Structure 1
Amino acid sequence: MPAKSTAPNRTATAPGGSVLSQDWQNLTTPLAVAVDIGNSSTIGAANGTHLLIPSALVGANSRTAIPTDQGSALLHYEAGDSVESVGCHWLVGNVAVATAPTSHAKVVDRPDGKLTYALPLVLAQLGLLFPDASEISPAVLVVALPDAKVLAPRMQSVLTGTHLVRVNGRRVTITLNRVDVIEEGRGALLHAVNTGAIDAATVRGATVTVLDLGGGTTLGNAVVRGQFVPESRVVVSQGVYALWQAIAADEAPDMMRSKLLQFGDPTAVARSFERGMVGGGIQYLSTGIDLMPSYHRNLGLWANTTITPTLNALKQWRDESDAILVTGGGAMLPGLIELLQSQPILGGKIRLCPQPRIANALGMAAFGQSQIGG
């Protein structure tokens, strides 16, 4: 049963430029929803829409103010099948980072972070993705995990059931009767096939390497004749954030340490790149300092400590691959794809996944919809 809305038709612009349709009450087919819990961001996707929030949370209480920005939630678990969560309050997303910049809980902090923090992240994401719904009951919720076959029962036990919550003061009943768990990276691969970036016949009949450049980690997987190879999985515990840290700490005369007499803020560096070019460069906040010279100095060094070890660990499959699919937010780094394509060892194998930052979530939602006949 699709989520029910009590509001008239309208749209709202979400971070990243997506549009959230709130006309859910007119859906006549079962709805699949995906929530991609990443080490850096959690992305919800359904019916062609998406919303991205930081994978961050911090404890709250009944007196905590309700946040107002679209990427934030005050979540109160009032009742439901997660008995240990009854009475708990969390701030989730942007507001968690703003409220406790150095002490908020992050998925990347724990090896089992995706399981430990799944319930509040998923419930908050669903409440934000359907901002007018009083009932949310997707036909299937799709999530992704490493070693999905082994970990699926644990994730399903965490999420399955009925959860009565308040999201930013709004009471919502969220019912999750079916939770499908798929391998990390399968959604991005499916999205690449659906958008024509990789031919379906290549995936079915050959070897493809999936390189996921996340904020906190760099992941690699081999897919042989359409099947993920569990023993191929590689995790390097360093992602794009390490590049922002290197730029923030650059001591060159043209950078913050010299001009402002203090190191830069890596998060502010990231925001500066998200804003894009201003006057031919990437400006750090409103200082007029151009970050691009430092970016060019550090990009290759960063790639050598993240991408190179990942692909080297995958050498057995990398050398046999017909394609290396690059996805995740790091795939959008200026000049990175060109840098990878220039490496003789990679030949002409590099393929950029369309919409790389949200590709996994979009593909997961498409997978879920295909499973329920939508």
Structure 2
Amino acid sequence: MFTMKTAFYVISIMCALSTTAYGQGLDGQVINRDLARHIEELKQHNGFSSEDFNACQITWTVKGLAKSEGDSNSQPHEITFQYEGKNIITIVNQQDGNADSIKELGLNCLEFNNYVYLFFDASDYRTRSKFGLEDLSYVIFSPDQGKTWSKLIGLNLFSVKAKFSLPHDKFRKYLKIFGNKSAHALAIFNPQDETTYLFDPEFDILKTVPVYNRLSDFDYPSDFYYFKNTLYLVRGSCELLRGKIQCPLKTYVETSRDFGRTWNRESFPLIKKSYFLALDNILYHFYYKPCANNWLSPIPAFDRSPVCGHLMARKLDILGAWEKPKVLLKSVAELMGVYPGSKPILVWKDFRFHKSRSCGYIPLIGCIDGAPFEGPEAVYAGELDVNNWDINESLIEYNK
């Protein structure tokens, strides 16, 4: 007869069995500091925009204006910007006559196809006051190789939560352009609201991707990946609908074959960070996947799913379809980065040093002590051989 007393003994036995430590020790583990330094260098390199970034040459002329009555200290002047000898726009500095003051605006120029873009960084309050500007960043563009130009557009127009800033010294990091010879799109990361905005060539907004759905590395804000005329959205996007930002409950990979105008969503959701990498003209996708709870385990106390995480990889076949995903590792807590090379380098947090602390999950009861597993934090990195999916791993960080 099954009584409460019997149940108590069964649970006690299950807890006693499952308190056996399964985490590995540090025996034979040596921290690879050379690899750790190399990864830091790769992080710095990945902070820049794609190689198809094209700068252009902007010139300007300065013309002095009459001083304001009663203000003998100011010397206003107007500045006319030019591209290939043609005027773009004229702005007025109302305060001082130093021709070098234009440098305070932080100019950045970009060419792609027939388009020319000129960006102004006016993040400094004194600079905005001198030139009568309100926004932190502006853009003006030409669709016909500089023959005609748009009006000056303040980027604050697109931000829904905060000011829009595109710092001059972070331009190559925060702006990316994706395209071929016939079409393109621009992605700009705004550090003020930690959101990536995708624009068409004439700065109509296509997609907004706020930080609270972020999957990509914050230090390398590349929320879109471009490969063979297809844009891949690395993390879930939120849309401005009826005046409100609305976000999906789950994050899915989305693809666009028309540079962000329309999107298709995959059927399975992603968790945490996700990375795309092109190698030898093949696109690879790396992502983290938690292990499912084993509700049907004959002995639920041995269900280790709370400390189980899979590092997954898949590649695009020649027909443009994803092959069946591969499980590379089964003790992953978080995928931290994927870096290019003849053999890509993967970086991840690992659970392998964690030890069991209680009987684990029991249906209708749960984890008795509320903290079933704990242990030191280990970070591993390794080169991946994509031919056989083997990882030559090394420990690069260990914190008790």
TM-score by length of structure 2 reads: 0.23
More strand by share: 2
TM-score by length of 1: 0.24
More helix per residue:
1
